[in-house]
Structure 1
Amino acid sequence: MKKVIGLLTAVGLMTAPLVQAGTVTVSGSTSVAHVMEVLAENYQNTAKKNVEVQSTGSSAGIRAAKDGTSMIGMSSRNIKENELNDTTKEIVIARDGIAAAVNKANPVQDLTQEQISKIYRGEIKNWSEVGGEARPIVVVTRENGSGTRGAFEEIMDLQRTVNGHKVTAITPTAQVGNGNGMIKTIVANNPYAIGYISLGSVDDSLVALSVGGVEATDTNIAAGEYQIARPFIVLVNDQPHPNAQSFIDFIMSNDGQSIVAEEGYIRVQ
């Protein structure tokens, strides 16, 4: 018995520094994770505290914050009332647009919100119907549980009610990509594809469409003119771990919000 107690004591002494280090665990939206990883790297360099970011999807991040399996959850869509409990609070850390994106070879540069919605419902099937080539439209969507998909469906009226439950109205023939990176790859390699990604993830591999003549820019989102936009939210316990609170304080500081802006998102303060 003494040997067992001695071993447990030794293990406790060995792990004590790790507990004191207090790694901040963050999980959820792949869209929020893009900027969160940059924020975490900068915070670690200055505060000398560890931050672990995992991309698990908005729904999983909300559950993790609610259940306490992560100190901080991430969501790129609005939170439903039944997803929270009395001890969970939301903090908006940034705002982001969702870009409807096409291949660089596609002559179509502008669509209305209604046209995009009809494309995703499968009601518009050919690019010739919206001023493009006579080619079938390849619709690309995010996976179930994606915050980007949830926000896109809500904003673009791509949900229908069946037996009292909301279900997707996106055409079942749509290709599914997990994460912004996969959507970009599919669209960049198919001249007849259309997908949607976080505006902060847009690069020169594809083209973000104007919507109703309004370009997808930070300025237009901040002015409320570009309508396909959503908040970036973190969720924490109402009495978060001190290390988690310290990291959130950094995110909401001028330095943290400057990083948000540098990464292509809209600061909230």
Structure 2
Amino acid sequence: MRTFLIISLFYGVLFSFDLEEFKKYKGVIRIAGGTAHIPIMKEIKKEIESINPDIKISIEGGGSGVGIKKVGEGLVDIGNSGRGATKEEIKRYNLVLFKWAVDGIGIVVNRDNNISNLTLSQIRDIFSGKIKNWKEIGGKDRRIVVYTRNRSSGTRKVFQKKILGKEDITKDALYVDSNGAMKRAVSVDKRAIGYISAGFIDKNIKAVAINGVLPTKENIKSKKYPYSRGLYSITKDRPKGLVKAFIDYLYTPHVQRDLIPKKGFIPVK
């Protein structure tokens, strides 16, 4: 039986890997899956296509489950996921997982909301629908509107496992299809609460501390904020050629030291 690999370390050869390497390739790379990955993927796409117009890279979202399924079925070359693939998925598709960054899952509200800290118990009661008005926890007299992601979302799966626990998300929750859509929804709805990739948190929304700890890069890196997850790019079998070059590029000093921190994530090296 074949085994899978989770690769999160630098190979010696990768230190010498440079963008110039892509000049010897041509072809198409199809990428789909986790939406937290998209800002990084778009930057890399721009860099590669600018140095070699014979390479075209397509990037789609859809969520981690979609990325895993599509790469497993051969519909894309790389499936992005904000969760590790299950043993069943790995065995079925012979997946190889490459972890290249660490991300946090943050609880976010509208900037107009005066709530800045919630306990884990309060968060669970809000998302399960037991707490229905912000005034119940010291906020303004407004109905709480819960925003969530669909079940294929890796962000949702990590939120469910690490924060929500055994509670179910209220049936009254409104659904959004990406981290970007979550940010937009929360930024315009003063009643809103949602969860999001920490890399997407900016001045347009407000991060809420959990038990007094905010989802900052420093707190995630030190594990003071424990609600984190890996960001993976996944291939079916070991990658070769252009796809391998793309995966290798994720571990270069430029991407690890510059691009990943710039986008709000923590590099693996």
Runs of 4 or more, structure 1, over 4 Å off, are none
Q: Does 1:196 align with 2:195?
A: yes
What is residue 16 of structure 1 aligned with on the other side? none
Q: Distance in 1 between matches of 2:48 and 2:30?
A: 13
Please list, as runs of the form range in 1=range in 2, the aligned pairs for 1:1-269 lying within 5 A after superposition: 21-46=26-51, 49-85=55-91, 87-159=94-166, 169-257=168-256, 258-269=258-269
Structure 1 residues 47, 267: closer, same or farther in 2, change over 3 A? farther
Q: TM-score of the superposition, structure 2-length normalised?
A: 0.85
Q: Could you tell me which runs of 5 or more consecutive residues in structure 1 were left unpaired when the two chains were aligned.
A: 1-19, 161-168
Shift in Å, 1:57: 1.5
What letter is aligned with 1:27?
A
What letter is aligned with 2:268?
V
Q: Distance in 2 between matches of 1:125 and 1:188?
A: 19
Is the CA contact (8 Å cut-off) linking 2:62 and 2:178 kept in structure 1?
Answer: no
What is residue 8 of structure 2 aligned with on the other side? none
Q: Distance in 2 between matches of 1:242 and 1:87?
A: 18
Q: Distance in 1 between matches of 2:48 and 2:251?
A: 12
Identity %: 32
Say which is worse superposed, 72-81 or 39-48, in terms of deviation.
Answer: 39-48
Shift in Å, 1:34: 2.5
Q: TM-score of the superposition, structure 1-length normalised?
A: 0.85
Is the CA contact (8 Å cut-off) linking 1:200 and 1:263 kept in structure 2?
Answer: yes
Q: Could you tell me which runs of 5 or more consecutive residues in structure 2 were left unpaired when the two chains were aligned.
A: 1-24
What letter is aligned with 1:197?
I
Post-superposition CA distance 1:220-245 (Å, at most 9, x none):
00111112211111111332131000
Q: Distance in 1 between matches of 2:236 and 2:146?
A: 38
Matched residue count: 242
Q: Distance in 1 between matches of 2:185 and 2:76?
A: 32
Shift in Å, 1:262: 1.1
Is the CA contact (8 Å cut-off) linking 2:89 and 2:95 kept in structure 1?
Answer: no
Shift in Å, 1:97: 1.0
Q: Higher Cα Rg: structure 1 or 2?
A: 1
What letter is aligned with 2:179?
N
CA RMSD of superposed structures (Å) = 1.7
Is the CA contact (8 Å cut-off) linking 2:42 and 2:59 kept in structure 1?
Answer: yes
Post-superposition CA distance 1:199-252 (Å, at most 9, x none):
111121110111111121001001111122111111113321310000111111
Q: Distance in 1 between matches of 2:131 and 2:49?
A: 48
